[in-house]
A and B are shown apart, each in its own frame.
Chain A
Amino acid sequence: MPSVRPISPTEHRDHLATLPSASFLQTPGWARVKSEWRSESLGWFDDAGQQVGVALVLYRKLPKLNRYLAYLPEGPVIDWSSDDLGSWLDPMVRHLRTQGAFAVRIGPPVVTRRWTTAQVKDGIADPAVRLLGQIPPAERTPAGARVVAQLHELGWRHQGVEGGFAAGQPQFVFQIPLRAADGTPRSEDDVLKGMNQLWRRNIKKAAKEGVEVTRGGRDDLAAFHELYVHTAQRDHFTPRPLRYFETMYDALSADAPERFTLWLARHDGDLVASTIAIRVGEHAWYSYGASSTEKREVRGSNAIQWAMIRDAIAAGAAVYDLRGITETLDADDPHVGLIQFKVGTGGEAVEYAGEWDLPVNRALYKAFQLYLQRRG
């Protein structure tokens, strides 16, 4: 059975560097982005003392009590293919209990189901289909099913997608695979051919209009942020402060220079779109995006996405991840537009195992859930 102990951010970073990839939410840099929570790097060690796993724990304090929800977003980074997950998770839970955790929340980075672009499109077109889960998936993964089965067995509780603590991480995401089934990298041409006609036309149009996509430095974050606040007003969401992105830039770049990339799309000197891309090893994410309301016809958003996808291909990434989609396929749902935009890239809808809780102190856990329900 592996043992678990706290490790330094350097040990944490070094272990991640030996892996093909991990969620950016499990990097030491992410702890500094989420500085409002106490954090801890944990390492798993086998009998020979070799490090075999790593996790970033965020301790979220209960109001008025010295107790914490130990949250491991999209983690821990362990061998999820193990048939004995208990031997990995149990020592972790024992450690977290000594740190004052009343409950543990994890997000196994394991795929459970996949749907093709065509399936998602048919689902949106079919009025009888309201949720992704109502379409038979192209694949149910046995590896994901084994993780789910074991978590049930070990007493973990699946957290519903709706509601829950601070909304949690999305269980459904949209991804463009950048490798073929046999593992060979896909070419730019191949990925472009997978996109729908509208996307291809818009990418071409942006080039014809002379949209220029460039990488920015830390100083350009202010320009990104201005456009992002504008986007937030238009699309009715609460923007984060500029400081948040500066911290993210500093923290993630300190881990590895390629981790954080700011992208800017300009037309005649006007900033029409700007995005933040994150890459950890073989996994590239589209993380934040902003676009102008003026000059939509020059298709800055498509141009900037295409630049990020090309960059991911050039870097040898296996996946381009457009992050969360809601499970809804209801054509009347306001979220469906976002799915349709992502579906146009020709990727696949992917379901992860979702977030799971283990109550350590049942009474406090119950009280905590009631508190969340009341908070709405």
Chain B
Amino acid sequence: MSLTLTVDGPRWRAHLEQVAAANPGLVPVAKGNGYGFTLGRLARRTQWLAERGHDVRALAVGTYDELPEVAQRWAGDLLVLTPWRPWVPLPDAATSRRLVHTVSRLCDLRELLHADPAARVVLERMTSMRRHGMAARELWEAGDLLRKHPGARVEGLALHLPLGQGTHLGEVTRLVNDFVAAEIPTRGVPQVWVSHLTDAELTTLRTQYGDFAIRPRIGTGLWLGDRGALRVTATVLDVHPVERGDAFGYRGRTAPKSGHVLVVSGGTAHGIGLEAPTGEQSIKARAATLARGGLDAVGFVRSPYAIDGKQRLFAEPPHMQASMLFVPHGARVPEVGEDVDVRVRYTATAFDRVVVTD
């Protein structure tokens, strides 16, 4: 009766271990909908990786509000990726010892150290992405400030790099140089917390900065890196034969030709039929988006549901928890209770059930 994510457990876990082994100092990222798996499950899986002996000491969440979901299921350090702001209340003492704040403004650093003189922080340096982060000179001032706060614990430098397109090494070198220039007092080896670097870039970085610990933050590549281990299915809830001209659905549409209307699980509540921007910029991708919108006006829209490997059309826009599909005459009609495949974006889908096979 539900939209289900089925995970090939052995294959998925092998992939997680392989990523962890290839990335010492790995910081798994669990944020948002937990990449479809839920935050709690990812926290437990992170704990499992650490217990299997992998060098995983911190788990990253997106926001402070996500902390309660993971704090009990994972025993190590917690990093919040969204920079701390003065209106964010500080957690209880037990959590705060494990918590590493991302600090992206000098004024925030001052306020945070005032609120918690023993706060653990990573200092975010602005990258070419221009989202959050300090400028070089702000970082220098942060160094001055931190030298006056010996209780504070700086874990290192945080960099959020843009995706893809050429190498980031030149930029990283410049940004790490700014960290050196700031003379930030760190306990032990300073760390560079970084995302979106290729394996080759990470290897080069590790050689060039052997006096730093490189902490790759990985979400998609870790949890969703082996798509073959994942399968999303919906259940056929009802099947109705229709003739050309028969009316059906909320909006009393008429069938364009004879066939079957299927009612399948999964609707807007799960994110079905809600388009999430893919960020694709090619003319073709943008034309496809336009075409999908256009189809909606004149007839049926392609759905993410596939029967026998063929994607079927929505008979009408998805409902809250179910969708109606049109299967034209001549195609095999699935039975009620049968599972059909669904292609979804994992980060934008709320599954009813996640089944991990043993």
Contacts and interface: CB of A to CB of B under 8 A. Distances in A.
A195 to B, nearest CB: 27
Contact of A83 (B140, B177, B180, B207): B140
B210 A135 contact: yes
B29 to A, nearest CB: 27
A64 B210 CA distance: 48
A134 B211 CA distance: 10
B213 to A, nearest CB: 11
A257 to B, nearest CB: 40
Nearest to A146: B181
A104 B137 CA distance: 25
Nearest to B139: A149
A140 B178 contact: no
A256 to B, nearest CB: 35
B211 A140 contact: yes
A146 B208 CA distance: 19
A142 interface: yes
Interface in B176-228: 177-178, 180-183, 207-211
A148 B210 contact: no
Contacts of B210: 134-136
A205 B137 CA distance: 55
Given A83-B140, A153-B136, A148 B207 contact: no
Interface residues of A, number: 15
Given A134-B207, A136-B209, A136-B211, A148 B177 contact: yes
A142 B182 CA distance: 7
Nearest to A142: B183
Nearest to B178: A149
Contact of A149 (B177, B207, B209, B211): B177
20 contacts: A83-B137, A83-B140, A133-B208, A134-B210, A136-B209, A136-B211, A142-B180, A142-B181, A142-B183, A145-B177, A145-B178, A145-B180, A145-B181, A146-B140, A148-B177, A148-B181, A149-B174, A149-B177, A152-B174, A153-B136
A137 interface: yes
A148 B136 CA distance: 11
Contacts of A145: 177-178, 180-181
Main secondary structure of the interface of A (DSSP, over half): helix
Contacts of A137: 211
A152 B175 CA distance: 11
Interface string B319-339: 000000000000000000000
A134 B208 contact: yes
A134 B209 CA distance: 8
Nearest to A136: B210
A140 B174 contact: no
Interface in B270-326: none
B55 to A, nearest CB: 18
A153 B180 CA distance: 16
Interface in B111-146: 136-137, 140
A148 B181 CA distance: 9
A153 B210 CA distance: 26
B32 to A, nearest CB: 35
A140 B209 CA distance: 10
A141 B180 CA distance: 7
B184 to A, nearest CB: 9
Nearest to A128: B207
Given A133-B208, A140-B211, A148-B177, 14 more contacts: A83-B137, A83-B140, A134-B207, A135-B210, A136-B209, A136-B210, A137-B211, A141-B180, A145-B180, A145-B181, A146-B140, A149-B174, A149-B177, A153-B136
Interface in A138-190: 140-142, 145-146, 148-149, 152-153
Contacts of B181: 142, 145-146, 148-149
Nearest to A133: B208
Contact of A140 (B137, B180, B207): B180
A59 B209 CA distance: 38
Contacts of B207: 134
Nearest to B174: A152
A137 B137 CA distance: 24
Contacts of A146: 140, 181
A149 B140 CA distance: 11
A152 B177 CA distance: 11
Contacts of A140: 180, 211
A319 B207 CA distance: 29
Interface string A250-262: 0000000000000
A140 B182 CA distance: 12
